[in-house]
Amino acid sequence: MRPIPSFLISRDRHLIKHVTTIAAACGHPLVHVPTLEEARMHWQTSPLVLVGSDQAANCAAAGLAARHDVIVLKRQTSRAEPVWPPAIQLGATAVIELPEATGWLLDRFTRANGHTSAAPILGFVGGSGGVGASQLALTAATIYADGGKRAVLVDLDLQGQGADVAAGMAHVHGWRWPALAQCQGALDPQRLLSELPHRHGLHILAPDQDSPCEPSSENVAAILHAARIAASVVVVDLPRQPDVSSARAAQFCTAGVIVIPEDARAISAAQTVASKYRPHWSHVGVVQRSGAASAVRGWGNRNRVVPKSVADQLGLEQWGALPTVPKLATWLRKGTLPPLRRAGLFPGQRRAMDEVRSLCGYLLRRAETFAPVNAKLEVA
Give the pLDDT confidence of 154-180 residue by residue, as tens digits: 999 998 889 999 999 999 999 999 999
The answer to whether residues 149 and 119 touch, using CB atoms and an 8 Å cutoff, is no
Q: CA-CA-CA-CA torsion for 186, 198, 244, 319, nearest 10 degrees?
A: 120
The answer to whether residues 149 and 233 touch, using CB atoms and an 8 Å cutoff, is yes
Residues 180 and 196: their CA atoms lie apart, in Å, by 11
Residues 199 and 168: their CA atoms lie apart, in Å, by 10
CATH class, domain 121-369, is: alpha beta
What b/e string do you get for 139-161 counting C-beta neighbours within 10 Å, with b at 16 or more?
A: bbbbbbbbeebbbbbbbbbbebe
Using CA atoms, how far residue 333 sits from 135, 167, 329, in Å, is 11, 4, 6
Taking only the tens place, the pLDDT of each residue in 261-276 is: 877 677 888 999 999 9
Nearest to 349 by CA among 323, 373, 316: 323
Instruction: Enumerate the domain spans of the chain.
Output: 6-112, 121-369
Residues 345 and 328: their CA atoms lie apart, in Å, by 12
Using CA atoms, how far residue 162 sits from 13, 167, 208, 333, in Å, is 42, 9, 8, 12
| 3-state SS string for 228-239 | HHHCCEEEEECC
Helix axes 133-146, 347-369, angle to 10 degrees: 80
Q: CA-CA-CA-CA torsion for 33, 39, 44, 46, nearest 10 degrees?
A: 0
Whole-model pTM above 0.75? no
Q: Over 80: is that where the pLDDT of 232 sits?
A: yes
The answer to whether residues 314 and 286 touch, using CB atoms and an 8 Å cutoff, is yes
What's the pLDDT at 380? 30
The answer to whether residues 185 and 219 touch, using CB atoms and an 8 Å cutoff, is no
What's the pLDDT at 102? 87
Residues 281 and 295: their CA atoms lie apart, in Å, by 32
Residues 290 and 274: their CA atoms lie apart, in Å, by 20
Using CA atoms, how far residue 77 sits from 53, 183, 375, in Å, is 12, 21, 20
* Sign of the alpha-carbon torsion through 208, 212, 217, 222: negative
The answer to whether residues 152 and 196 touch, using CB atoms and an 8 Å cutoff, is yes
- pLDDT above 90 coverage of the chain, percent: 53
The third-level CATH classification (topology) of the domain covering 6-112 is Rossmann fold (3.40.50)
Please name the residue ranges forming H helices in the chain. 13-25, 36-42, 53-61, 84-90, 102-112, 133-146, 163-166, 177-180, 189-195, 217-230, 244-252, 267-277, 309-314, 328-334, 347-369
Residues 10 and 55: their CA atoms lie apart, in Å, by 6
Look at phi and psi of residue 317 and say left if phi exceeds 0, alpha if psi is from -120 to 50, else beta. beta
Taking only the tens place, the pLDDT of each residue in 199-208 is: 999 999 999 9
Exposed, middle or buried, 280 (CB in 10 Å: 0-12/13-18/19+)? buried
Q: Over 60: is that where the pLDDT of 23 sits?
A: yes
Residues forming beta bridges with residue 242, ordered by sequence position: none
The pairing of beta strand 202-205 with beta strand 198-199: antiparallel
What's the pLDDT at 333? 94
Per-residue confidence band for 301, with pLDDT thresholds at 50, 70 and 90? very low
6-112 and 121-369 agree in CATH topology: yes
- Name which of 24-33, 133-142, 156-165, 178-187 the model is least confident about: 178-187
